[in-house]
Structure 1
Amino acid sequence: MLPDSFWRFIRIGLVGLVLAAAVAGLVLGDAWLWVAVEWSPPTYAWFYARGGFDTLTVVALLVAALVKAALLWLILRAPAPGPLDRRAKALRRLLYLAVAYALVLWYPIALLPDAVDAAFQLALWTAIDVLYLLVIRWRSRALCAAAGAMFAVELAGMANELLDELDLPELGSGGIVDLGLMLGAVAATIITVVGQRRDGRWSRGTQAAGWLSVGTYALVIPLNFFFGRISSGHLAMGVMMDAVGLVSIVWIAATARELPAEGRPADLSPARRRMIRIAVAAVAVLPIIALIHPEQTPHLTYTGWSMDCYRRPSFGDLKPAERDAAFLCRARSTDGGVPPMFPDSLSDQQILAYGRALCRAKDRDEQKAILTRAGSPRPAWGADPWDLVYLCPEIVGATHPELLRSTAEAEAANAAYIAEKNAKCRDPWPRTKGVVQATANYFLFADGDHGYMVHDPQDEAAEEAVEQAIDKLYDDSARIGVAGSTVLIGHIEDVIDLCLTVKAFRTAPPQRTAGWDQVTEVPIVSRSGRLTVPEKGEGEVGAGAPMPNLAIAGKGRYRLRVHVRVDDAGEEQHLVVVFPGASRKRLKLKP
């Protein structure tokens, strides 16, 4: 065993190095300060604080340096002298390996694949838990059995992580299973501390460290699991929770240190106990104090890259208490590379106040003035009603009631609208039935839409054919572009939808030009045995009902006849007739 003088030298050297490095970090910059306090590369910090550390984060790092130095002083205490049997020696070595992993080894192991890290931890703690059962004097079979069960749950959680990293079927998925495995790890810690108390070898200080490590779980689980605040909240919170997490390492190191059965440390004096209680209370309360920001400090619940902001729920899907958060996500969003509505320098409360002022603005100029006052990087854009609806539904809903709908209501309204538009369209050639046919409203873009396609969707050259058809669309007054397996049919009037009927025949039907403004016949080929018209998707152009396969004779060449007319009300109607035909001529049948 190494002499006490060696341990004292190591303690003074490392603790002094931590404190000196933190002071040097203040002078050398944020990256040095982060490395000095967090003992990790600054990459993580830059992900969460790309513009540098704010005052709160710097203060948190300095406080964390003091906390870590104090806890490191406790971790590096010399092992208690005394004889150890083979199992106790193995347990001590493994516990010190766990301490070394938590302090130093985690980084080089993290450079390896994640599955290696998960496998290492599973193997390490399997061995430790088995030795716990054999070394600790539980003095109760029921307690020992309960410990074995809790250790099994703890190891099941680690095994689940390993299976996840290996992309194998997990033991269970979902929040309830994850929470159960996490609580099992907490129970394993609790029952181990109870076993230490019944054993009698471990001092009250070690047991206090064990209970305090349970207290850190009580902070981490609700903050991280239920609210996601550690990973998505202020960086200072993560710094303080990382420092407090060293309490668990103090307990593991103390457990290893006091393993000998003889020479059990004497209980501390009442004064020393009070000092330890004060220190324990300070460490427990410190992260909570760090969460309390002064009113003038920006409180950033959501930023443009927060994970919770990737969901874009409809107004009607949210509870009233969730609507402010939805607006904050949109106000700070940088989707598509556009600048956010408000800068991150503003607190949540300030953004909400400016947002409500935007709700009351009379026009875009007044919105621009409000955004300029707020320091917006894009004041001239104003604010859109689909963003403001989360703050002032009573104002926006008066002019845009559709924005108040839930997703289900919006889908139902959209389906009803499509059905209503389809119902207005009638078959213009009802007496002549095709082998397959359909009639529906075709929805176009409000601006700049070329028209609709009859095409082979499975043709490998489909994209190239579409581009060629667009180029040829305006070469003729009929506005029909032909390119292999694609025919692009333009609209005559400036409309946003038209009535479309498609029919397929086995032979050429009568030309029937009467009653139509223009009739044009062109060639088209089906290379896969399909010809159809695109159906409308959510927020897209297309037919309002499923369109049939018009290539009823399979692969080969077809003729496509397009009838177009515009009625007195300016409504445009199209009839598309498809039948087999080898001719490659383009025929203008009318006019």
Structure 2
Amino acid sequence: MRWGNDCVRPYGGAALRSRPVLPDGFWRIIRIGLVGLVLAAAVAGLVLGDAWLWAAVEWSPPVYAGFYAPGGFDAPTVVALLVAAPVKAALLWLILRAPAPGPLDRRAKALRRLLYLAVAYTLVLWYPVALLPDAVDAAFQLALWTAIDVLYLLVIRWRSRMLRAAAGAMFAVELAGMANELLDELDLLELGSGGIVGLGLMLGGAAATVITVVGQWRDGRWSHGTLVAGWLSVGVYALVIPLNILFEGIFNGNLVMPVMMDAVGLVSTVWIAATARELPTENCPADLPSGRRRMMRVGVAAVAVLPIISQIHPEQTPHLTYTGWSMGCYDRPGFGDLKPAERNAAFLCRARSAEGGVPPMFPEDLSDQAVLAYGKALCRAKDRDEQEAILTRAGSARPAWGADLWDLVYVCPEIIGATHPELLRSTTETEAANTAYIAEQNAKCRDPWPRTKGVVQATVRYFLFADGDHGYLVHDPEDEAVDEAAEQAMDKVYDDSALIGVAGSAVLVGHVADVVDLCLTVKAFRSAPPPRTAGWDQVNEVPVVSRGGRLTVPEMGEGDVGAGAPMPNLAIAGKGRYRLRVYVRVDDAGEEQHLVVVFPGASRKRLELKP
């Protein structure tokens, strides 16, 4: 039995005669019109500017061009777009071929419609779907390809139970990758987040394509050209996987590769459209003549090899891999989070960053090799003046600023790490070290009234800005006007000899010594405790109001300012007026201690209990 070309009627149910929805002549008009429009738009885009050239070739909104290339396209990108335009037009011509007439059973009809929906998504529907939440897109893709894979198992004549079982297993791996994407978008527990898991899922998708093409060949109804398009889709996987591993993603600051991969990736759409078109079992398409087969093989080889060749440059050619706006530069991982091969890229990102409107360390047209060489020279510089001289030679727009150690550590960890080992830590290690440091500092602070227990209380280290911090707030975070009250309290703090600014629901307590942190104890009582001013330098009492039923001290968040542990709610009687008594002293070692006592009280007077 010869399985390569035999045409048999579909199994399972009566075959129904399907008629083309549109005449072949009308399909030809549509093909000529759309393909001609693509080519004409590319020519017009070359005249109108980069944004319109991008829209004409990449079939995406013009504003995307400004996102990927804020400074405009370079010459290689323009050439890549002009080459991609006729390639995509030719592939679109193949996609828009009229469906083959012939009988289709219920399952084959459903498969054809879903495959054409997948084609429409790739060409047109991706943009309106992208306007929805990412989870909606991921759920749509999972549902669509789950249905397609199930119908593949039912419609394709695999002629082998083992092959059908293998196809089911590979489809399951492919769908697991899509399910993992959906779980990620929903912030749920993923199947796996490591690089090995992602690579395995991508290989599973490639294997699913391979086994589908094998099933089509054994089925016999699909033409040689469709099978070639299928194998070419596998070739696209063979390009994408090493590019993601070796180049850390297709987009690495150079638009040539993503433009070419976008054009090459359209081959998969050609295969999907051809699979849908040739589903009928009557009028099976004849194989291509031997001459056209050879041309097709040459095309396959060209598509597979040319993108790789385009990335090979002479060693002396300057590489410009990363700019300050490259996609891979948005994250700022710690040194210990990166593999050795990734550290140079991290330094390039920082060296070319213009975040916050600050000029980059090096000129944008300076090659990667030169930036890395200058970075290593900066590591060996003896002082700031020598760094300034190096940056001046490099053409830096800010040579007097020098270079920071936390940037240089990525290019010369052996030098920077010798004197600053904390810069070699990973994010997890840094967080653990900070947590341990804060716990250690909190433990050094003691309750100055250990025998007088409040209804709620806490003793912590309060961390201030190193330069010129005003002090700490005792405020009601539930008050809608708390921000305005805090500003008013800050304005008043220096008008008071005790450095206590009061404004409604906010009290700003200043520090009397030049310190970067202080020991703070807060206690809340149901009535006023005895003054007990002995041993304190200052004791003052002021009014404060709680409009939301809370009074507390800000806790340290992602920054370096705030209390070193969660602080209690001192408004123990709920909404209303309170009295706030502040005890301050500085010991012989220069350590400053504060005790804040809060209790209900309607008085609005300020009292100085000890000057």
Provide the C-alpha distance between the structure 1 equivalents of 2:458 and 2:141, rounded to a whole number of angstroms: 63
Q: 1:483 aligns with which of 495, 500, 503?
A: 503
Provide the C-alpha distance between the structure 1 equivalents of 2:109 and 2:562, rounded to a whole number of angstroms: 71
Q: 1:212 aligns with which of 203, 223, 232?
A: 232
Q: Secondary structure at the match of 1:467?
A: helix
Determine if the alignment matches structure 1 residue 350 to structure 2 residue 350: no
State whether residues 92 and 259 of structure 1, in contact with CA within 8 Å, keep that contact through their aligned partners in structure 2.
Answer: no
- What pairs with 1:141-156 in structure 2 (closer than 5 Å)? 141-144=161-164, 147=167
Q: Secondary structure at the match of 2:232?
A: helix
The more displaced of 63-72 and 385-394 is 63-72
Q: Secondary structure at the match of 1:85?
A: strand
Provide the C-alpha distance between the structure 2 equivalents of 1:405 and 1:34, rounded to a whole number of angstroms: 42
Q: Shift in Å at residue 316 of structure 1? A: 3.2
- Counterpart of 1:585 in structure 2 is 605
Provide the C-alpha distance between the structure 2 equivalents of 1:232 and 1:168, rounded to a whole number of angstroms: 27
Residue type at the aligned position of 1:497 = D
Provide the C-alpha distance between the structure 1 equivalents of 2:245 and 2:54, rounded to a whole number of angstroms: 25
Determine if the alignment matches structure 1 residue 364 to structure 2 residue 381: no
Q: 1:245 aligns with which of 265, 283, 291?
A: 265
State whether residues 320 and 367 of structure 2, in contact with CA within 8 Å, keep that contact through their aligned partners in structure 1.
Answer: yes
- What pairs with 1:212-231 in structure 2 (closer than 5 Å)? 212-224=232-244, 229-231=249-251
State whether residues 180 and 192 of structure 2, in contact with CA within 8 Å, keep that contact through their aligned partners in structure 1.
Answer: no
Q: Shift in Å at residue 186 of structure 1? A: 3.7
Q: 1:565 aligns with which of 585, 589, 607?
A: 585
The more displaced of 191-200 and 283-292 is 191-200
- Counterpart of 1:383 in structure 2 is 403
Q: Shift in Å at residue 10 of structure 1? A: 8.1
Determine if the alignment matches structure 1 residue 52 to structure 2 residue 52: no
Provide the C-alpha distance between the structure 1 equivalents of 2:95 and 2:140, rounded to a whole number of angstroms: 22
Provide the C-alpha distance between the structure 2 equivalents of 1:492 and 1:390, rounded to a whole number of angstroms: 41
Residue type at the aligned position of 2:67 = F
- What pairs with 1:141-290 in structure 2 (closer than 5 Å)? 141-144=161-164, 147=167, 185-224=205-244, 229-252=249-272, 254-255=274-275, 256=277, 261=282, 265=286, 268-269=289-290, 272-290=292-310
State whether residues 253 and 327 of structure 2, in contact with CA within 8 Å, keep that contact through their aligned partners in structure 1.
Answer: no
Residues 553 and 73 (structure 1), Cα distance of their counterparts in 2 relative to 1, 3 Å cut:
closer
Q: After superposition, what is the alpha-carbon deviation per residue over 1:527-550, rounded to whole angstroms, capped at 9, x for unaligned?
A: 455444334445333334554544
Determine if the alignment matches structure 1 residue 444 to structure 2 residue 464: yes
Q: After superposition, what is the alpha-carbon deviation per residue over 1:277-315, rounded to whole angstroms, capped at 9, x for unaligned?
A: 222211111111122244455534443334443332322
Residue type at the aligned position of 2:359 = P
- Structure 2: which 5+ runs fail to align? 1-19
- Counterpart of 2:339 in structure 1 is 319
Q: Shift in Å at residue 215 of structure 1? A: 1.4
- Counterpart of 2:102 in structure 1 is 84
Provide the C-alpha distance between the structure 1 equivalents of 2:219 and 2:139, rounded to a whole number of angstroms: 31
- Counterpart of 1:395 in structure 2 is 415
Residues 317 and 501 (structure 1), Cα distance of their counterparts in 2 relative to 1, 3 Å cut:
same
Provide the C-alpha distance between the structure 2 equivalents of 1:169 and 1:446, rounded to a whole number of angstroms: 40
Residue type at the aligned position of 1:346 = L
The more displaced of 173-182 and 185-194 is 173-182
Residues 349 and 260 (structure 1), Cα distance of their counterparts in 2 relative to 1, 3 Å cut:
same
- What pairs with 1:489-568 in structure 2 (closer than 5 Å)? 489-568=509-588
TM score, norm. by length of structure 1: 0.81
Provide the C-alpha distance between the structure 1 equivalents of 2:529 and 2:130, rounded to a whole number of angstroms: 72
- Structure 1: which 5+ runs fail to align? none
Residues 296 and 258 (structure 1), Cα distance of their counterparts in 2 relative to 1, 3 Å cut:
farther
Residue type at the aligned position of 2:510 = G
State whether residues 209 and 230 of structure 2, in contact with CA within 8 Å, keep that contact through their aligned partners in structure 1.
Answer: yes
Q: Secondary structure at the match of 1:442?
A: strand
Provide the C-alpha distance between the structure 2 equivalents of 1:430 and 1:131, rounded to a whole number of angstroms: 74
TM score, norm. by length of structure 2: 0.78
Q: After superposition, what is the alpha-carbon deviation per residue over 1:119-145, rounded to whole angstroms, capped at 9, x for unaligned?
A: 987898788767766765443455456
Residues 588 and 158 (structure 1), Cα distance of their counterparts in 2 relative to 1, 3 Å cut:
closer
Provide the C-alpha distance between the structure 1 equivalents of 2:407 and 2:480, rounded to a whole number of angstroms: 41
State whether residues 258 and 264 of structure 1, in contact with CA within 8 Å, keep that contact through their aligned partners in structure 2.
Answer: no
Over the matched positions of the two proteins, sequence identity in percent amounts to 78
Residue type at the aligned position of 2:286 = P
Residues 513 and 183 (structure 1), Cα distance of their counterparts in 2 relative to 1, 3 Å cut:
closer
State whether residues 34 and 61 of structure 1, in contact with CA within 8 Å, keep that contact through their aligned partners in structure 2.
Answer: yes
Provide the C-alpha distance between the structure 2 equivalents of 1:170 and 1:439, rounded to a whole number of angstroms: 37
- Counterpart of 2:348 in structure 1 is 328
